[in-house]
Structure 1
Amino acid sequence: MPETLFECSEEFLIYLGSVRGLSENTLLSYRQDLAHFCEFFGNDKSAEGLTLEDLRLFVGYLSRRKYSVASINRIISAVRGLFAYLKKFGYISKNVSYELKCLRQPKTLPRFMSQVEIDNVCRQPEKKELLWASRDKAIFEMMYSSGCRVSELASLKFQDFTSDFRSAIVTGKGKKDRRVYFEQDARNSLMLYLKERKARFPQAEKGCAGEVSRIFLSQKGTALSAHGIWYIVSRYTGIEGTGSHVSPHAFRHTFATGMLNSGADIRIVQELLGHSNISTTQRYTHVTLERLKKVYSQAFPHSGKKD
């Protein structure tokens, strides 16, 4: 029976992975968040002795350390999950986290790129040749074309695609499968990359077992991780590239905003993005409304301008 916070956290993580079936990336986030919690109180501290006031002091500590509201709320969620687990299996007599409230989070609009910006980013691999140009361009084009999460793109294998590479099945949050689509520019870029991939790493070709069957490889021939894609995007949008840093998620935001701006039904966009709740997709309708208001105020001659 686990007694210390560290032991409790480790058992909880095993439970999340083996019983709940959470992904490696989600488990890593839980591990990092609970590490902050254990570090604050001490790994050898007993969970049974903690009070609601102790947890609130921990939240205050995170706030003083300038953690974002989103990060604090994510950590609170992890702590709540841990205490719910401990109470369920009788490791603690009372779940003191039940009354621990999340912080009020200011509403922010998703960061997306204009058509000029996204075209510029997608051209950077050919212009700069910082890493592996054909691979990096294919990554950018495919993220923009499909709206995939970065983890979904990194996990793509040959067998996930249709024979013409027009679409693929990805596994999203909650282990839910959905189909995503790739337009011609994305497919052309992918074909060029796969040709180079075959020449560089013939042993990693289609049909091989294990991680090397993934579409995107590092320059060493190993499976490219989501963190690797983050690094690639940061190189091409940092001072060596566009000088206007964006995250891989900005490609997904740009895809969703472009679809809605072009008149796509919000339910279709919800399905393509893999959102379980349409309210998540509706954030992008707010983006389009903001753009409309901005264009209106700039273009209409009587929009508050003085003669």
Structure 2
Amino acid sequence: MNTEIINTIKSKMDDVLNTSQLNKLESVLKEVFNENTSPKDSLQNKKNLIKQFINSKKIEGCSKRTEEYYFRTLTFFEKNINSDINSVTTAEIRDYLLNYQKINNCTNVTLNTVRRILSSFYKWLEDEDFIIKSPMKRIHRIKSPVIIKPAFTEEQIENIRKTASDNDRNLAIVDFLLSSGIRVSELVRLNRSSINLNTRTYIVFGKGAKQREIYFDVRTKIELENYLKSRKDKNNALFVTERKKSKNGTYGRLKINSIEKLIRDMGIKTEIQNVHPHRFRRTMATRAIDKGMPIEQVQVLLGHTKIDTTLRYANVQQVNVKYSHQKFIC
């Protein structure tokens, strides 16, 4: 009954008081009505808000990297604001975002990512009744120029393949990334048992634990067969380290940072800038669209929920746009 009374009072005062004042009012009302939660428990609850939020993200199926990024962003935010994290005002958050961009010299894209994380956190606080109204509701999306990052050219791809050609594993990784458009986080989780070399398909669990079927070309199949034949270990991981682990003497599953370094080193050797696993994914999407694959099918291949995300990946060649204009318009 007390909770209903408190919520009614807060609702009636919603248009009069700001977020900080409403939270203070809630605290006073709970003290007056002697709610069951003790002051010690309430304080502990406030301290664990970020942890509780991250746990909710785990349940939703967020990746480990996403959880860690959310945690770093929110703990940094908590350390650099004067108010309690659950009583901060809209004005304080605006000041924080302005100072964050100034201190870190980051782009609007990065700043908008921080804004989205804060917005997600405060929406969760509101949904869980830790606060009355999210202070992020009046802070809108930060606009930034839409820049389509370039895909690899055919010459760049061949130079990278040439650099990797002296190592069966590395060449298989390059061709796998290029022909499938797989995320590096998905690549490291693949097992030998999940690959069907006959049909050149595999099942992958992407972001949000969404399952989809992925395909690869004949060249990738041959490179995979060569690599797997050279393997003497029994590790079920599709790609493993070249050195044995000292603890148990077996080869370990390749991790994300290892593949990122591997690909980055290839870029250094070939003197190509911005060589990273995600660029292979973008290249696959660009190639597919340029060759006439419908954007909806590319979306399915990449595992995107929204087609707008797929459109940002694809750098359609201007010469193809000119050709299509002449074909359909002229």
Alpha carbons of 1:256 and 1:243: their partners in 2 closer, same or farther (altered >3 Å)? Answer: closer
1:141 maps to what in 2? 175
Q: 1:145 touches 1:182 (CA, 8 Å); kept in 2?
A: yes
Matched, 1:126 2:169: no
Matched, 1:54 2:92: yes
Q: CA deviation at 1:74?
A: 1.3
1:265 maps to what in 2? 294
Alignment of 1:1-307 (within 5 A): 1=42, 7-18=48-59, 20-41=60-81, 46-64=84-102, 65-126=104-165, 133-164=167-198, 166-196=200-230, 198-199=231-232, 202-204=233-235, 213-219=236-242, 220=244, 221-238=251-268, 240-283=269-312, 287-292=315-320
Unaligned runs of 5+ in 1: 128-132, 205-212, 297-307
Instruction: Report the Cα distance in structure 2 between the residues aligned to 1:82 and 1:88, rounded to whole angstroms.
Output: 10
Aligned AA (1:110): K
Measured against aligned partners, the alpha-carbon deviations of 1:12-46 in whole angstroms (never above 9, x if no partner) come to 1011102x12122221221222233123227xx52
Aligned AA (2:205): T
Report the 3-state secondary structure (helix = DSSP H, G, I; strand = E; otherwise coil) of the residue aligned with 1:99: coil
Instruction: Report the Cα distance in structure 1 between the residues aligned to 2:257 and 2:217, rounded to whole angstroms.
Output: 25
Q: CA deviation at 1:283?
A: 3.5
Q: 1:269 touches 1:281 (CA, 8 Å); kept in 2?
A: yes
Aligned residues: 275
Instruction: Report the Cα distance in structure 1 between the residues aligned to 2:234 and 2:215, rounded to whole angstroms.
Output: 28
Alpha carbons of 1:112 and 1:243: their partners in 2 closer, same or farther (altered >3 Å)? Answer: closer
Unaligned runs of 5+ in 2: 1-41, 245-250, 325-330
Instruction: Report the Cα distance in structure 1 between the residues aligned to 2:114 and 2:46, rounded to whole angstroms.
Output: 15
Q: 1:3 touches 1:47 (CA, 8 Å); kept in 2?
A: no
Aligned AA (1:214): A
TM-score (norm 2): 0.76
Q: CA RMSD in A?
A: 2.4
Instruction: Report the Cα distance in structure 2 between the residues aligned to 1:295 and 1:248, rounded to whole angstroms.
Output: 31
Measured against aligned partners, the alpha-carbon deviations of 1:156-200 in whole angstroms (never above 9, x if no partner) come to 11232225261101112222111111111111111222223x22x
Q: 1:237 touches 1:245 (CA, 8 Å); kept in 2?
A: yes
Alpha carbons of 1:155 and 1:83: their partners in 2 closer, same or farther (altered >3 Å)? Answer: same
Aligned AA (1:34): L
Instruction: Report the Cα distance in structure 1 between the residues aligned to 2:149 and 2:322, rounded to whole angstroms.
Output: 16
Report the 3-state secondary structure (helix = DSSP H, G, I; strand = E; otherwise coil) of the residue aligned with 1:245: coil
Q: 2:181 touches 2:301 (CA, 8 Å); kept in 1?
A: yes
Alpha carbons of 1:290 and 1:163: their partners in 2 closer, same or farther (altered >3 Å)? Answer: closer
Instruction: Report the Cα distance in structure 1 between the residues aligned to 2:193 and 2:94, rounded to whole angstroms.
Output: 48
Instruction: Report the Cα distance in structure 2 between the residues aligned to 1:60 and 1:115, rounded to whole angstroms.
Output: 42
Report the 3-state secondary structure (helix = DSSP H, G, I; strand = E; otherwise coil) of the residue aligned with 1:97: coil
Report the 3-state secondary structure (helix = DSSP H, G, I; strand = E; otherwise coil) of the residue aligned with 1:95: coil
Alpha carbons of 1:2 and 1:294: their partners in 2 closer, same or farther (altered >3 Å)? Answer: farther
Report the 3-state secondary structure (helix = DSSP H, G, I; strand = E; otherwise coil) of the residue aligned with 1:270: helix
Q: 1:121 touches 1:242 (CA, 8 Å); kept in 2?
A: no
Report the 3-state secondary structure (helix = DSSP H, G, I; strand = E; otherwise coil) of the residue aligned with 1:81: helix
Q: 2:263 touches 2:275 (CA, 8 Å); kept in 1?
A: yes
Instruction: Report the Cα distance in structure 2 between the residues aligned to 1:295 and 1:114, rounded to whole angstroms.
Output: 19
Aligned AA (1:247): H
Q: CA deviation at 1:289?
A: 4.8
Instruction: Report the Cα distance in structure 2 between the residues aligned to 1:11 and 1:139, rounded to whole angstroms.
Output: 38
Report the 3-state secondary structure (helix = DSSP H, G, I; strand = E; otherwise coil) of the residue aligned with 1:17: helix
